[in-house]
Amino acid sequence: MKIERRIFGKIFIGAVIFFVAGVFFADGNISGYMRENGTKVWTIRTAPLISSAEIVASVRPLSENYSTMDEFISDELNSDFEFTSVGGSWEEIKPEGTRIESEVRFKIDGEWGDWIEIEEEEDLVDQKLHYGMASTNPARTMRYKFLLYGNGAEKPAVKNVEWTFIRAAAPAAAPAAAPAAQRAIAPVLAEASQTVTAKPVLKPLFAGAIPDATGIISRAKWGADESLRYLKDNSSTPVLVELEPDFYKKYADELQYSNVVESDADGKKYKWPLQYPEAVKKVIIHHTATDKNLDNPEQAIRDIYYYHASTRGWGDIGYNYIIDRDGRIYEGRFGGEGVIGAHSGPGNHGSIGIAVLGNYQNEPLPDAVVKSISSFIYKKSKIHNFEPGASALFRGELMPNIFGHRDIMATTCPGDYIYNLLPVFRNLASQSPETQRKFVKNYAFQDHTELFYLELKPEEERNITLRLENTGKIIWDNKTFLVVDQNPEFNSVILFPTQNGEILAPMEENEIAPGEIATFKFKIRAQATGKTVTMNLTPIINGAKKLFTYVVLPVKVQQPVYRYEIDKMTLPPELMRIGNSFDGSVRLKNTGNVSWNDVVLAGASIKGILQEKSVRPGQIGTFNFTFNTAKKSGFYEEVFIPKIDGTVFQSGENISFRTLVYEQDYDGEFVAKSVINNFEKEKSYNLNFKLRNIGGKSWNRSDFKIAFVKDKNTHIDDLNISPESIAPGDVATFSFTVTVDKNTELGKKVLMIKPKISGFSLVTPPIVFAYAVSNTETPTSQNDKVEGIDGSDIRVKIGFSGDPEITANGNFEVYAGTEIIDSLNSGEIGKVSMDSGQYRLDLRGKNFLKGEPVRFIPKNGAILRIENFDRRPAWNLSINDNEFRGVLEVREVDGELTVINELPLEHYLKGLAEASNSDPMEKIKAVIIAARSYAYFYTTAAEKFPGKPYHLDDNPDNSQKYMGYAFEQRALNIVSAVEATSGKMVGYNGAVVKAPYFSSTDGTRTRSAEEVWGWTNTPYLISVDDSFCDGGAFRGHGVGLSGCGARVLAEQGRTYEEILKHYYTGVEVVDLW
């Protein structure tokens, strides 16, 4: 064997081949076997349950239609024997920006347990292949779930799913390695090390050679079947998995071996050679997907071992050590101190992998584990000479010497609870847990408190008792007291209410002789800052002697949570006359974990003042305010944002009111109008405009008088006003037909409209429609002719580069400017290129040079297609998103040909891939309304691309992800949502606003526009609670609507309007058409 080759080229992940002795049967999708040494093999359908054997059954359920599902829950999968673990494997097809999560649950004694999230492992050879495992108390039935998160346009897929039921039993007589075996292998180690370097060699300590005094439960004791570690054919060679060569080249200095052992003292070859790094620098913490009420941890460890060693083919368990919920430590990977495991991919080499049985994403870690794991890491740090609380370079980055699995790989492991305790582990592992020798020094003590860290809620006060044994030779008298070293980090985090000067606590006893225990009692109170700090405590003996040994006690104060529920609100009426005022109040219940002292309800123009001096969690606070009406009529909306010392509350219901302030009984406000710029003679056009009632009385249809100021040859017909009655604040739609007769002169015209009711003019100045009269209508597509304002077009730059070749599935016309060049049939192609600053058209073999941009206009609803535009989703290469409704315009922009799709806004939204078709419908509607608002904003109120001949582009990094007609055909739920919400937008203070949205938060809160972009004029874009989002990490800018959170709210039964009002503070959903 050439060790030098492995130094730079290979790292062992698992043997490619492995051997199972015995008989194997397979029947369709079910197979099974039982191992030798008393093990028999048969299929699951006929195999009796034999309690002394490992029984394994593989079930390959059908997994169709994954590509169209957001959540897949399997039918019940049943086993003929009671299994204690399941191992899964499946292939994932994940386009960029998509995500897959897997969970399992078990039925035990007829009751289904909770879903357990599986920590997935990628196959380092085939990255599409994923693995996962979960352990349980004995069960016969399971279900699995896949959560498939799309990126809006594409969806991930899962295939070739396989689950393996496992119940691994200990061998009848577990072999223990004798000390002689250790001595026999030592020369082999020394000989092998000579081919590498002269650096120190980390030697293996085999199971059985570990002294019982360590407290580690050996492999023999938890029942490891050591035969799984060996190749059956001793003449074969283990095949090592090669990673990318660049990985070894980049980290060559870190990936050196001090030793590699391929066989035991008897010459039997290991499936997984024992590999030892030159140094161990890190400890990496994991958790396992395990039932929280697991009765038999040894069984779970045997199952993990079997799954890693046999099912995965590694030849051993991947973790170096395992810890159960009671803090007991189990030996993992065979090979002893420093042996390389398989637990963290690129982090395996030079680390110790410790796995805690259980899932700690949402479950607190038992105190016994905290103490056990910290003490254990301390011992390992002394063996390997690293500082637990320090950081050092690792794989090119400065990383703490104790870190979590998620810090080096894309995973939630080791769960939030363990991850948040890593600072505590680092602190405790830096302290010696060893008992000092007694009665040697005059002054000494030993801590008997059994308190190794504190976790406090904000403002929580707790009584602490410290018990210190006098292990010196001098008696402690009643002048002895306890002190805590002052730490600037204590400020705003903790304080000590009973501290008197430097005295934290006097000794309770009058005298403590050597060997007796002294008692010190004090109080600690958390403040409102979430942080972990460290107390260094020591006695001042007899009032004079301070020792420089300490009781080191980490204190974690939880993050403050500012939340509320609305108890009662007295708000201004919906209608008020100018000059009036209103005294209102808001009563809020404190549902957070910290008191309110200086809270205000901050509005844009008024503030609500807290009447109580302090409001503790669970109590109700009252905020009074006065609303004085403005001097101008119109809608006024006030949104209250609770703040404390400038900090916005994390969550709570919307606190706002909306009042129509009016000056006279009859008054109106212009809202919107339709736009048609060119009229052709002898044709009729449907127009409309909208007015909002901002007076004090309702409008009735019969009371209107509408005056039209127009050209004498322009005719107005079919005037209609809806609805019949318009209350204050509501919007009326006025629709009518305009016909230009043949005698009308060509050129620009103006139509003015003066609506009156009961003699009062509603708007000043009049409503004006400007248009031009021509003999032929300016080219537009038939499906662009939509009545009313919903027919306003949007122009979108398509992400195509080159010379476009355009065709259609029906007849279409080609124009240069307003000049028609040719009419083409279905399937015929028009090509456009640039030639000496002019547009060259190739149409049916004819060439044309034109100075105006080229427009392809479909007839009778035909769909245009860019024939040489290849935009295919990775999950289905038979699809090509190169088809478009409306007009395709080709023009030169910045020296390059650019394709622009011009179409009605509502049609544009149907081809928008900003939500997944498999999302809940209310989430889709919310996203569509936000997207419509965004697009409308940039077609009316602002320019996204100033000076460009288009409003938006199809790049989601710049604008929105527009995919066109082909997407519309496969996203029927998107289309339904667009149609169901037609014309609805997000409004604030009477104006449509730009409504940003993004993929997901980290499960805490969204971000305000001010903290992300510095915007100070968007009070509707403040930070709000997003704790229901299970996205795991921020994806996107974080401002506005969270796609992840919106999905959960929709699943909980919230409507699209409730979702929008949660993420956009103080807004309304307005209906513009």
pLDDT tens by residue, 93-136:
777 667 788 889 999 888 888 888 887 765 655 566 788 888 88
Q: Which of the residue ranges 89-93, 97-101, 318-322, 410-414 has the most confident prediction, judged by mean pLDDT?
A: 318-322
**Residue that wins the pLDDT comparison between 632 and 1064:** 1064
pLDDT tens-digit series, residues 189-215: 222 222 222 233 333 333 332 334 467
Find the mean pLDDT for residues 652-668: 83
d(CA 405, CA 75): 32
**Residue that wins the pLDDT comparison between 630 and 357:** 357
The answer on 748 and 724 residing in a single domain is: yes
Q: Which region among 33-37, 247-251, 892-896, 918-922 has the lowest average model confidence (pLDDT)?
A: 33-37
Domain final residue pick, 721, 743, 778: 778
d(CA 790, CA 773): 22
**Residue that wins the pLDDT comparison between 971 and 866:** 866
pLDDT value of position 20: 32
488: helix, strand or coil: helix
Contact in structure between 11 and 254 (CB atoms under 8 Å): no
Contact in structure between 831 and 805 (CB atoms under 8 Å): yes
Contact in structure between 94 and 102 (CB atoms under 8 Å): no
Taken as a whole, the chain contains a residue count of 1073
Domain final residue pick, 507, 524, 557: 557
Find the mean pLDDT for residues 736-762: 86
The answer on 821 and 736 residing in a single domain is: no
Q: In the predicted model, is pLDDT for residue 87 greater than 80? A: yes
The answer to whether residue 34 sits within a structural domain is: no
d(CA 130, CA 86): 14
**Residue that wins the pLDDT comparison between 571 and 121:** 571
pLDDT value of position 772: 81
**Residue that wins the pLDDT comparison between 582 and 743:** 582
CA atoms 1047, 1048, 1051, 1056: torsion sign: negative
Q: Which of the residue ranges 240-249, 483-492, 784-793, 1021-1030 has the most confident prediction, judged by mean pLDDT?
A: 483-492
The answer on 652 and 748 residing in a single domain is: no
Secondary structure E strands in 923-1045: 952-953, 984-988, 991-992, 997-998, 1041-1042
Angle between helix 367-384 and 422-429 (nearest 10): 50
The answer to whether residue 43 sits within a structural domain is: no
Q: In the predicted model, is pLDDT for residue 930 greater than 70? A: yes
pLDDT value of position 679: 85
pLDDT value of position 16: 30
Q: In the predicted model, is pLDDT for residue 869 greater than 70? A: yes
CATH number of the structural domain spanning residue 727:
2.60.40.10
Contact in structure between 532 and 554 (CB atoms under 8 Å): yes
The answer on 256 and 319 residing in a single domain is: yes
DSSP single-letter state for residue 311: I
* 944: its two tokens: 């996204």
Find the mean pLDDT for residues 656-681: 81
Find the mean pLDDT for residues 146-164: 75
CB-CB neighbours of 390 under 10 Å: 12
The answer on 713 and 797 residing in a single domain is: no
pLDDT band at 670 (very low <50, low <70, confident <90, very high): confident
pLDDT value of position 567: 93
pLDDT value of position 177: 40
Domain final residue pick, 402, 429, 456: 429
* 29: its two tokens: 């999708």
pLDDT value of position 214: 60
Find the mean pLDDT for residues 657-686: 82
pLDDT value of position 42: 27
Number of domains in the chain: 6
pLDDT band at 6 (very low <50, low <70, confident <90, very high): very low
pLDDT value of position 123: 60
Q: Which of the residue ranges 57-66, 162-171, 677-686 has the most confident prediction, judged by mean pLDDT?
A: 677-686
pLDDT value of position 521: 96
The answer on 682 and 539 residing in a single domain is: no
The answer on 1043 and 899 residing in a single domain is: yes
The answer on 874 and 746 residing in a single domain is: no
The answer to whether residue 731 sits within a structural domain is: yes
d(CA 328, CA 39): 30
The answer on 680 and 657 residing in a single domain is: no
Q: In the predicted model, is pLDDT for residue 372 greater than 70? A: yes
pLDDT value of position 204: 35
The answer to whether residue 302 sits within a structural domain is: no
Q: What is the mean pLDDT of the chain?
A: 79
Angle between helix 1056-1063 and 1043-1051 (nearest 10): 140
The answer on 211 and 161 residing in a single domain is: no
The answer to whether residue 26 sits within a structural domain is: no
pLDDT value of position 831: 94
pLDDT tens-digit series, residues 438-451: 778 899 999 888 78
The answer on 970 and 878 residing in a single domain is: yes
Find the mean pLDDT for residues 552-574: 88
Find the mean pLDDT for residues 52-64: 34
CATH number of the structural domain spanning residue 94:
2.60.120.260
* Domain ranges, residue 92: 55-167
pLDDT value of position 817: 83
The answer to whether residue 148 sits within a structural domain is: yes
pLDDT value of position 294: 74
Q: In the predicted model, is pLDDT for residue 66 greater than 50? A: no
Q: What DSSP string runs through 1014-1031?
A: ---S-TTS---B-TT---
pLDDT tens-digit series, residues 8-50: 233 333 333 233 333 333 333 444 444 443 322 222 332 222 2
**Residue that wins the pLDDT comparison between 1031 and 575:** 575
Q: In the predicted model, is pLDDT for residue 495 greater than 90? A: yes
Q: How far apart are the first and last CA of the chain?
A: 78
The answer to whether residue 381 sits within a structural domain is: yes
pLDDT value of position 651: 59
The answer to whether residue 35 sits within a structural domain is: no
pLDDT band at 239 (very low <50, low <70, confident <90, very high): low
The answer on 372 and 235 residing in a single domain is: yes
